[in-house]
A and B are shown apart, each in its own frame.
Chain A
Amino acid sequence: MTSVTLRPGGRLLSGAVYGCLLNVQDELDRLGDAINEAPYNGAPTGPVMYVKTPNTQVADGTPVVLPADVDQVRVGATLGVVIKDTLTRASADQARAAIAGYTLVNDLTVPHDSLFRQPLKQKCRDGFCPIGPCLVDAADLPDPDGLTVRALVNGECRQQWSLAELVRPVATLLADISDFTSLYPGDLILVGMSPDAPLAGAGDTVAVEIDGLGRLENPLISEGESAR
């Protein structure tokens, strides 16, 4: 198995980090009729994207500071897909061939009910996107859509979901994104998050696991508390 250590901002992870809303079937089902009501007024026709900005990106083990106005965060356990070749208006087969590999991502999110506006204050806080610990070569994970994702708080598994539940499987998702937003070498795409993600607060240690990708683990600390 080929894997290398990932560093946010390093050569392998030099581009954008994009997340996807509503790419897990259960997430869509929970919305129910609300999807057709105001303010949403209908199901999205393509992938619903958001940005995890560079200030959010930290490595495995880095303490994440919860700002004073944030008591709890959701543990956003997901698979991250790293791109190696530019994708523009690509097919799923082209997209599959352009995947460098996979890693773990914890899309830490301040709980929010409205999905109407882009969630900057909920998702773009400093340190709110642990990534790593390794990039595992695509050839070593031929079937990412069958993997199980686990979210842990203080070592205890609090959520488990399967990537078989993705509305758009990995290659289809990349292809559909590339219809309007090109993906470039070093970009990282988070494939989606399942509902019922556990909450955690300062003093907790949060982790993400997928078999074959290891464990991504970060302590949460409160603002003002210095990292050891």
Chain B
Amino acid sequence: MKQARIAFEGRVQQAWEDNGKVRLADGRRLDESEVTWLPPVTPGTILALGLNYADHAAEIASQAPEEPMVFLKGANTLVGHRAFTPRPTDATNMHYECELAIVIGKPARNVAKADAYDYIAGYTVANDYAVRNYLEGFYRPNFRIKSRDNCTPIGPWLVDAADIADPMNLRLTTRVNGETTQEGSTKDMIFDVPFLIEYFSAFMTLQPGDVILTGTPKGTVNVMPGDEVVTEIEGVGALHNTIIERKA
């Protein structure tokens, strides 16, 4: 089952995917352009991975990490499907990052890898934009590059964990204005989903609704105002976002 949080007729509602339509609790079926899409989850904690695909690590750094390279993001970053993300006018390299997002389903503390999937509610798609030229050297990635307002589109759907037979073998694709610019597979993650749940839960309690963004493969390229960026993960969803200009 795929569910969403939307705004429609003046209130926030839960909705479900139904043969390409958006079905409301009262049974009405709407086109996806008729509703306002919200982030499908409202996490307390947003954990994110840097350099978690060897090919992307080689693209922006000298070597792959030996331990997960982890950072945190604020809820200010999240926007839903079909939303807009501002590009500062002094950005020289602002790139998308198509990522599988794990949504935690129950409190997780000291969970072994073998049990990790029991703690997952489901999956969604995230686009973890970075303004690369804002990267600085303290507590990096610093907020100015990675915890910016509206710079983490997420959705459209929260897909039940039971519907994804093997989350470690899903194709990721990004298209900019219809042209494919990024392709990869979750099977190429350096630290896979069960490892990450064991790793995080060894030092902090994860709560239902918490999100782990699992990193992106190679193929991150600069995008400009007006570009439509679609990050898609096989079986999970296609997340649309449009870049707009922000005065620096």
In the bound complex, how far is the Cα of B192 from the Cα of A167, in angstroms? 41
Contact of A182 with B76 in the complex, beta carbons under 8 Å: yes
Contact of A50 with B139 in the complex, beta carbons under 8 Å: yes
Contact of B138 with A48 in the complex, beta carbons under 8 Å: yes
Interface string of B200-234 (1 = CB under 8 A from A): 00011111000000000000000000000000000
Q: What's the nearest-Cβ distance from chain A to residue B130, in Å? A: 12
What chain B residues lie within 8 Å of A40 (beta carbons)?
137-138
In the bound complex, how far is the Cα of B201 from the Cα of A126, in angstroms? 10
Any B CB within 8 A of the CB of A172: no
What chain B residues lie within 8 Å of A21 (beta carbons)?
138-139
Contact of A124 with B143 in the complex, beta carbons under 8 Å: no
Per the 8 Å Cβ criterion, residues 183-211 of B in contact with A are 203-207
Contact of B136 with A44 in the complex, beta carbons under 8 Å: yes
In the bound complex, how far is the Cα of B70 from the Cα of A53, in angstroms? 14
Contact of B205 with A126 in the complex, beta carbons under 8 Å: yes
In the bound complex, how far is the Cα of B70 from the Cα of A118, in angstroms? 7
Any B CB within 8 A of the CB of A119: yes
Size bin of chain A's contact surface:
35 or more
In the bound complex, how far is the Cα of B72 from the Cα of A122, in angstroms? 13
In the bound complex, how far is the Cα of B74 from the Cα of A184, in angstroms? 11
Interface string of B126-170 (1 = CB under 8 A from A): 000000000011111111100111000000000000000000000
Any B CB within 8 A of the CB of A15: yes
Size bin of chain B's contact surface:
20 to 34
Per the 8 Å Cβ criterion, residues 7-63 of A in contact with B are 15-16, 18, 21-22, 39-42, 44-51, 53-56
Q: Which of B70, B74, B76, B205 contacts A120 (CB 8 A)?
A: B70
Contact of B203 with A54 in the complex, beta carbons under 8 Å: no
Contact of A55 with B205 in the complex, beta carbons under 8 Å: yes
Contact of A181 with B139 in the complex, beta carbons under 8 Å: no
Contact of B75 with A120 in the complex, beta carbons under 8 Å: no
Contact of A124 with B136 in the complex, beta carbons under 8 Å: no
In the bound complex, how far is the Cα of B74 from the Cα of A22, in angstroms? 20
Any A CB within 8 A of the CB of B93: no
Any B CB within 8 A of the CB of A150: no
CB-based nearest B residue for A69: B203
Contact of B74 with A51 in the complex, beta carbons under 8 Å: yes
Contact of A48 with B142 in the complex, beta carbons under 8 Å: yes
What chain B residues lie within 8 Å of A51 (beta carbons)?
45, 72-74
Interface string of B59-76 (1 = CB under 8 A from A): 000000000011111111
Q: Name 23 A/B residue pairs within 8 A (Cβ), A-sorted.
A: A16-B76, A39-B137, A41-B137, A47-B143, A48-B138, A49-B143, A51-B74, A53-B45, A55-B45, A55-B206, A67-B203, A117-B71, A118-B139, A120-B70, A120-B71, A120-B72, A120-B204, A125-B204, A177-B143, A180-B143, A180-B147, A181-B149, A183-B76
- Residues on A facing B (Cβ under 8 Å): 15-16, 18, 21-22, 39-42, 44-51, 53-56, 67, 88, 115-121, 124-126, 177, 180-184
